[in-house]
Amino acid sequence: MQKEKRVAIIGGDARYLPLIHTLNKTNEINLELIGFDQVEQSYTGVKQSTLEELKPEQLDAVILPITGIDDKGYAEAVFSKQELQLTKDWFKRLPSHCLVFTGIANQTLLDSVKIKGNKLIKLMERNDVAIYNSIPTAEGAIMLAIQHTDITIHQSEVFVYGFGRVGKTTASAFKGLGAKVTVVSKDETDIARAFEQGYTVCHLSESIKLIENCHVLVNTIPAKVINKPILEKMKSDAIVIDLASKPGGTDFDFAKARGIHAIHALGLPGLVAPKTAGEILAFQIQKFIFSS
Amino acid sequence: MQKEKRVAIIGGDARYLPLIHTLNKTNEINLELIGFDQVEQSYTGVKQSTLEELKPEQLDAVILPITGIDDKGYAEAVFSKQELQLTKDWFKRLPSHCLVFTGIANQTLLDSVKIKGNKLIKLMERNDVAIYNSIPTAEGAIMLAIQHTDITIHQSEVFVYGFGRVGKTTASAFKGLGAKVTVVSKDETDIARAFEQGYTVCHLSESIKLIENCHVLVNTIPAKVINKPILEKMKSDAIVIDLASKPGGTDFDFAKARGIHAIHALGLPGLVAPKTAGEILAFQIQKFIFSS
């Protein structure tokens, strides 16, 4: 039998509730929550603490918010009014084997974990997490396309810009509903793979020649690729769903002026499938805790 | 070249706007609209008339509302305040070759077309129309499932009750997004076909043994099959999407008491894809007009 692991969750958002629920199902994890005092739900066997009560010396893992900590060490807690400041002195008290989980990391966090040499796992920068998260993202895009067009996805012309982690999943989801999907990329390897998978393919530099047929454009490329020339050629009742992180890849001002409905859809996993999104994080965290 | 056909549309709802648009693209159709005086859009070359101005003697086809006419001959016109009464005397003035299109037919309509022996086409009772319409219906069910669950469709357990025109399309759409679909039917032929297509299959009388795994239940069977025993076994966070026409196949009162979210989703094609829904009707109508 595995030794019980002591895990503290310090701050977090709505995705952390299913995460807590899933981790709590594992008998070998002893959970302590900081920054969840306003959650109405209670979890059997889970201790709610304050940062003062928590003993970092005893921890095997710390789970920080997806956003990590800010420059002054503050961790964001959506479900608490407590101020959760994790100073360098606090990190000094962690045992060196203690894992530190975050979504993303700034320099302050990178410096803080260096003090005792703690392993930092940046969940959102991991390829596997990005791929798992791409599933609810693609379903969110499907939902938006059904809601905001007056045609069926089936037999519609869908252009997916980018064939990376999110692009692959999105193209597959639309194809699964019978759409005619064109994959647009400037990467010849991606174009070859998309071709192999049965999509119509098009080099980024050539997409302007085909875009007038498009009903639904999904962008996943984090660069201004859905620009004025592209938008000018599009049907006015086509829609643009931009999944690329801020500031997105679409000239939203021009789209608006042109009368094209363009949606910058961020955070879809938490929106359409918070439970799955939380579980994705929980499974990753468990994998690390029990393999370390 | 084909002779120009004179077609009158008398009443109708939102689906009729894309229908008018599509029929109007055909040069060989001369359209006359009655009951669309409140539509802001105008159609080039389409005559807006009143029932008094219309000359039934000259018509090759009449398109009635999806609902047909009522017992007194009134045709429903969503876009007009005109009273559109089609009396038996009015039907008597139609040439005998004139086609009469409706969605469904009551006895009054059946009697009226008999007078001159006009061919009546009940669009909504046709298998092909029901299959085409099942596509936007399935997409509507997908949209509801994404909106009303906190998990992804991908890898979720979806139970589709019935494997007829709508059931087949719905099962396929959910499978296309990566759901684990179980088809429930009491028809051994349908069970065999569902099995061949790779679904998990289950006889209606046995579904109670598996239903506790269900995340999304889609019913297409027009009989009370989603009854108290089934609902009692379901997870409380599962959802029921009932696509069967009124009164549906779900014990909605018991579902509510049990805390299960059950949605009676009717008229999805007009809701999620009015343009496609209108075009489906237009293509059918054209087929008849030009083959007669």
Q: Are B271 and A149 in contact (CB under 8 A)?
A: no
Give the integer Cα–Cα distance in Å for A272 and B273: 21
Q: Are B190 and B168 in contact (CB under 8 A)?
A: no
3-class SS string, chain A: CCCCEEEEEECECCCHHHHHHHHHCCCCEEEEEECCCCCCCCCCCCEEECCCCCCHHHCCEEECCCCCECCCCEECECCCCCCCECCHHHHHCCCCCCEEEECCCCHHHHHHHHCCCCCEEEHHHCHHHHHHHHHHHHHHHHHHHHHHCCCCCCCCEEEEECCCHHHHHHHHHHHHCCCEEEEEECCHHHHHHHHHCCCEEEEHHHHHHCHHHCCEEEECCCCCCECHHHHHHCCCCCEEEECCCCCCCECHHHHHHHCCEEEECCCHHHHHCHHHHHHHHHHHHHHHHHHC
What pLDDT does residue A2 have?
Answer: 57
Which residues is A201 bridged to in the sheet? A183
For chain A, the maximum distance between any two Cα atoms, rounded to a whole number of angstroms, is 64
Q: In which residue are the tokens 């984090």 written?
A: A222
Shortest distance, CA A177 to any CA of chain B (angstroms) = 5
Extract the tokens encoding B120: 């009546």
B17 has pLDDT over 80: yes
What pLDDT does residue B281 have?
Answer: 93
Number of H helices, E strands in chain B: 10, 12
B288 membership: H or E segment, kind and range:
helix B274-291
Shortest distance, CA B181 to any CA of chain A (angstroms) = 14
Q: Collapsing DSSP states into helix, strand and coil, what is residue B180?
A: strand
Shortest distance, CA A252 to any CA of chain B (angstroms) = 25
- B207-246: per-residue pLDDT in tens? 999 999 999 999 999 999 999 999 999 999 999 999 998 8
Say which CATH architecture domain B5-125 belongs to. Answer: 3-Layer(aba) Sandwich (3.40)
Residue among A141, A135, A126, A129 nearest A243 (CA): A141
What pLDDT does residue B45 have?
Answer: 78
Taking CA atoms, what residue in B is nearest to A144? B143
Record: contact B146-A150, CB cut-off 8 A: no
Record: contact B154-A135, CB cut-off 8 A: yes
B195 Cβ contact partners less than 8 Å away, ≥ 6 residues apart: B201
A135 touches chain B (CB under 8 A): yes
Give the integer Cα–Cα distance in Å for B14 and A154: 21
B270 membership: H or E segment, kind and range:
helix B268-272
Record: contact B146-A139, CB cut-off 8 A: yes
Considering chain B, what is the average pLDDT of its residues? 94
Yes or no: is domain B133-270 CATH 3.50.50.60?
Answer: no
Shortest distance, CA A216 to any CA of chain B (angstroms) = 14
Give the integer Cα–Cα distance in Å for A184 and A199: 10
B216 Cβ contact partners less than 8 Å away, ≥ 6 residues apart: B145, B149, B153, B156, B157, B158, B159, B174, B179, B238, B239, B241
B165-176 and A165-176 are packed helices; what angle lies between their axes, rounded to 10 degrees?
Answer: 170
Rounded-to-10 torsion of CA A193, A197, A199, A202: 10
Among B18, B151, B177, the residue with its CB nearest the CB of A275 is B151
Extract the tokens encoding B80: 């007009």
What pLDDT does residue A245 have?
Answer: 87
H helix intervals, B107-251: 107-114, 127-148, 165-176, 188-196, 228-233
B276 touches chain A (CB under 8 A): yes
Give the integer Cα–Cα distance in Å for B276 and B280: 6
Burial (CB count <10 Å: 0-12, 13-18, 19+), residue A264: middle
Shortest distance, CA B137 to any CA of chain A (angstroms) = 9
Which residues is A62 bridged to in the sheet? A8, A100
Contacts of A158 in chain B (CB under 8 A): none
- Domains A5-125 and A133-270 alike in fold: yes
Q: What is this model's ipTM? A: 0.83
- B162-201: per-residue pLDDT in tens? 999 999 999 999 999 999 999 999 999 999 999 999 999 9
Regions of chain A with pLDDT less than 50? 1
Residue among B192, B147, B139 nearest A174 (CA): B139
B101 membership: H or E segment, kind and range:
strand B99-102
Neighbours of B277 (CB within 10 A): 28
How many Cα neighbours within 13 Å face the side chain of B162?
Answer: 22
- Ordered by start, the domain boundaries in chain B are 5-125, 133-270
Q: Collapsing DSSP states into helix, strand and coil, what is residue B276?
A: helix
Record: contact B178-A135, CB cut-off 8 A: yes
B270 has pLDDT over 90: no
Record: contact B177-A173, CB cut-off 8 A: yes
Taking CA atoms, what residue in B is nearest to A171? B177
Record: contact A151-B176, CB cut-off 8 A: no
Record: contact B150-A175, CB cut-off 8 A: no
Extract the tokens encoding A262: 């363009």
Give the integer Cα–Cα distance in Å for A56 and A69: 16
Record: contact B142-A177, CB cut-off 8 A: yes
Taking CA atoms, what residue in A is nearest to B148? A272
Q: Are B73 and B50 in contact (CB under 8 A)?
A: no
Pairing outcome for strands B200-203 and B47-49:
unpaired
Q: Collapsing DSSP states into helix, strand and coil, what is residue B114?
A: helix
Phi, psi of B264 (to 5 degrees): -90, 100
B1 has pLDDT over 60: no
Q: In which residue are the tokens 């039917």 written?
A: B185
Among B139, B153, B154, the residue with its CB nearest the CB of A153 is B139
CA of A161: how far to CAs of A146, A194, A226, A241, in Å?
19, 12, 9, 10
Contacts of A135 in chain B (CB under 8 A): 152, 154, 178
Q: What is the DSSP letter of B154?
A: T
Interface test with A, best of B19, B131, B151 (most A CBs within 10 A): B151
Among A143, A175, A273, the residue with its CB nearest the CB of B143 is A143
Record: contact A143-B140, CB cut-off 8 A: no
Which residues is A219 bridged to in the sheet? A161, A242
pTM of the model: 0.86
